Amino acid sequence: MFVEIPLIPTSIGPYQFRAVLGEGATSVVKLAFHTKSMQYFACKVVSKLHLSTRNRLEKFQTEIKVMRSIHHPHIVQLIELLEDENFYYAIMEFCARGELFEYIATNKKLSETESKLKMKQILEAVSYIHSLGIAHRDLKPENLLLDTCYHIKLSDFGFSRYVETNNLVRTPCGSPCYASPECLSGQPYDPMKSDIWSCGVILYVMVTGQLPWTQRNSAQLFKQIQEGDYKTPSFLSDQCRDLITKMMCVDFNKRISIEEAFNHPWINNLRSGLVGQQYGRKISTAGAASMRDIDQIFQEKTSSPLLADSTQYSQNVSPIVNQNNENADQNADKSPDVTHTPTLKKSHLSNQMVKLMKESESTCTLPTLNKISENDKNNMKKKKKVMKITQGSRLTFNPHANRRNLVRYSFH
C-alpha cells in the first residue's frame, strides 16, 4: 500500500528552513535559521510514517537519548527535539564545513600533520562516548563533520547503543568498508573494539586518500577485510604505518586500545603549538537538550499532536530557547561561542563541563553566521565528483575517479 509522505513545512517554531544539507533513507537534514537568536542550526527532519514500526521508533529513540547525554567539543550537540503531526525535528549545531569525507576527496589526501590533529580529535570523541558506555558502530568520514574552524564533530548516532563492560553484540551494522572483521563475521563481537578498527580505516583514508580495500565484489571485499589483506603505502612515515597496523589488527584481542593510541609516538609527537591551536578553545554547551523535555515527547500517549502546527508552536517556544534568549543581551559581550548557539545557564551543565569551560579559551577567529559566505554556499551545492552514493547490497564505484574506491556504502 502506497502512503504519501507529507511535505516538510517551511518552518517549525522560531526555525526557518533553508537549504537541504543532506538526505538519508528516513530523514532529511536542513539548514535552519533561528529568527530570534539570528543563528544557524542543522535540523534533522524525520517522518513519523518512517517510524511506524517498533524497531525504527526504538532506533530513533536510542539515537536521541544517546545524543542528549553527550556534551563534548568534538561531538555534534543536540539542541532540542520538536514535533508536529507528521515529523520529529532534531535541532543540532550546524557544522559549516561539511563532511570530512568530502574534505578528503577535495584535497585528494591530508598531510600527516593535519591527519594527526584530526585523528586525535576523533580519538577524544570516541574515548568520551566509550567512557559513557556508548559504542558508535558507524564511524566513517561521512559521519565526521567539520565546524567553522575545521575541528572534528562526530555525528550520526543512529547505530549507536549502550554497552555494558565486556558485553558482546551480534548485529552487523554501519558501513562494511569501515567495519571490523569480527563485525562482518556474524559472531558476537565487542563493538568498542570494533570502533577502534574503524578509526584505523579512517586514518588510512585521511593519509592516503584511498580505502585500504581493492576488491569490488561484496563477497571478495568481506573476505579481504576479514583477512586484513591491505598494504600501507611506503610514502607514509614508519610511525604512521605502525599506528594504522595496530588499529587495524585482525585479532581484536591484540588490537591497540584507545588509550594506547593516544600514547602512540605518531600522535604524541605533535608540536605543542599545533595542539594548542586546535584544542585551546571554548567548549560549546550549545543549549543541551533537556532529558525531561525529550522524555515527555516520547512518552506522550494522547492521540492529539503535541504541536498542532508551526504557527501554534511559535507562540509556545521551548523553555530551553526562552531561557537562552532571556540571557542573550547579558552574554553579548562575552567571548563568542564556537558553534554560535544559545548559551545555557551553568545550572544546566555538568561539573565536568563547567571545569572544561574554565580551562579552555577560543583561539579561532569566527565569522558571524548571520550570513553564510559564498564559499560555504558553493561547498554545500558542490556535487560529489569523486564518489557517488550506493544503493542496495552492491558497491558502486565512480568510473571517472582517478583514485581507488572512496565510496559511500552502508548495511540496510
Q: Range(s) for CATH 1.10.510.10 in the chain? A: 100-279
CB 151 within 8 A of CB 286: no
* Nine-digit cell string for 282: 571554548
Tell me how crowded residue 354 is: count the other CB atoms within 10 A of its CB: 13
Pick from 10-14, 24-28, 81-85, 260-264: least confident:
24-28
More confident residue, 377 or 403: 377
Q: Residues of the chain with pLDDT > 90: what percent?
A: 54
Catalytic residue among 138, 156, 190, 337: 138
Residue 294's pLDDT band (boundaries 50, 70, 90)?
Answer: low
CB 216 within 8 A of CB 397: yes
Q: What is the pLDDT of residue 85?
A: 92
CB 342 within 8 A of CB 324: yes
Integer Cα distance of 124 and 78 in angstroms: 18
Q: Number of helices (H) and strands (E), helices first, in the chain?
A: 15, 10
**What Å distances lie between residue 403 and 12, 134, 384, CA to CA?**
42, 34, 14
Tell me the three state secondary structure of residue 237.
coil
> What is the amino acid identity at position 275?
V
* Nine-digit cell string for 262: 593516544
Pick from 96-110, 207-221, 245-259, 326-340: least confident:
326-340
Q: What is the pLDDT of residue 260?
A: 96
- Provide the 8-state DSSP code for 286: T
- The continuous run of DSSP H or E covering 375 comes out as helix 374-381
Report whether CATH 1.10.510.10 matches the domain 100-279.
yes
DSSP readout, 176-224?
Answer: GGGS-HHHHTTS-B-HHHHHHHHHHHHHHHHHHSS-S----SHHHHHHH
List CB contacts of 259: < 8 A, sequence separation 6 or more. Answer: 127
Structure confidence by residue, pLDDT tens digits, 266-280: 998 875 444 444 433
User: Which residues carry a binding-site annotation?
Assistant: 44
Tell me how crowded residue 13 is: count the other CB atoms within 10 A of its CB: 25
Q: What is the pLDDT of residue 172?
A: 82
For the chain, what is the radius of gyration of the CA atoms?
Answer: 21
| Catalytic residue check, 238 | no
Predicted model pTM: 0.71
Q: What is the pLDDT of residue 109?
A: 96
Q: Range(s) for CATH 3.30.200.20 in the chain? A: 11-94+287-375
User: Which residues carry a binding-site annotation for ATP?
Assistant: 44
What CATH superfamily is the domain 11-94+287-375?
Phosphorylase Kinase; domain 1 (3.30.200.20)
List CB contacts of 212: < 8 A, sequence separation 6 or more. Answer: 201, 204, 230, 231, 248
